[in-house]
Amino acid sequence: MTRAIKARQADHAIHPVFTRRWSARAMSGAPIPKDELMLLFEAARWAPSAYNNQPWRILYAQRDTPAWPTFFNLLVDFNKQWAQNAAALVLFISKRTFDHNGEPSYTHTYDTGAAWQNLALQGTMHGYVTRGMEGFDYELARYALQIPEAFRIEAMAAIGKPGRSEDLSPELLALESPTQRRQLASTVCEGKFRFD
């Protein structure tokens, strides 16, 4: 985590949790106690959503439990390399329609992204690393986890205790550094669209 603090300097005085959160692949293999995992899910629960519809649903498996192989086998080989040391794998899905009227929700994916970010930030605050993943078999996930079509499969994430980057393969070690961000001026503009 200290690497992230040094490498990621914000231009404005935001709370440090935003820059401290980074997606390390080095995870120790230590388990996550159930109550700590619930803490992360609780944070996700309080995300905002259109009409407070809370379209997110989260399926999960802890390591060394019967559900783990089903989740782990969804991952592409690249992700399996490092996610084998995660303590939990989670899958975010989101309901496409509103509960109150059955109409399509335009923002169910957006809302569920907020839930994922809440989970990731809570994880950072409790000494866990989280890494989102789109590298998995979406069709197999639907089939293996019996997810109805009414729910869009969004993304998976790995949660774990930080590990030693030296224990990663050379290929993964070469990728293991906190990312930067483009300048704020290239992300926000006052008034009309003026981006490159």
Binding site for ligand FMN (CB under 6 A): 22-23, 79, 131-135, 155, 178-179
Q: How far is the CB of 108 from ligand FMN (least distance, A)?
A: 15
Nearest approach in angstroms of CB 51 to ligand FMN is: 24
Nearer residue to ligand FMN within complex by CB, 62 or 79: 79
Say which residues have a Cβ less than 8 Å from residue 148's Cβ, sequence separation at least 6.
none
State in angstroms the smallest separation of the CB of 101 from ligand FMN: 29
- Closest distance to ligand FMN from the beta carbon of 20 (Å): 10
Instruction: State the nearest-atom distance from the C-beta of 132 to ligand FMN, in Å.
Output: 3
Task: Specify the residue, 22 or 128, whose C-beta has the smaller distance to ligand FMN.
Answer: 22
Calpha distance 91→158 (Å, rounded): 9
Strands (E), the chain: 56-62, 88-95, 129-133, 151-160
Helix (H) or strand (E) holding 172: helix 170-173
- C-alpha distances (whole Å) from 172 to each of 89, 117, 167 are 19, 24, 10
Q: Which of 118, 42, 130 is nearest to 83 (CA)?
A: 130
For residues 99 and 184, which CB has a smaller minimum distance to ligand FMN in the complex? 184
Those residues whose C-beta lies under 8 Å from the C-beta of residue 154, and which sit 6 or more positions away, are 92, 93, 94, 109, 112, 113, 116
Burial of 117 (0-12, 13-18, 19+ CB in 10 A): middle
Least spacing, CB of residue 3 vs ligand FMN, in Å: 11
Residue least distant from ligand FMN (Cβ):
132
| Inter-CA distances, 91 with 8, 68, 101, Å | 28, 12, 26
The residue among 98 and 125 lying less far from ligand FMN, judged by its C-beta, is 125
Give 15 or 34: the residue with its C-beta nearer to ligand FMN.
Answer: 15
Nearer to ligand FMN, 162 or 178 (CB): 178
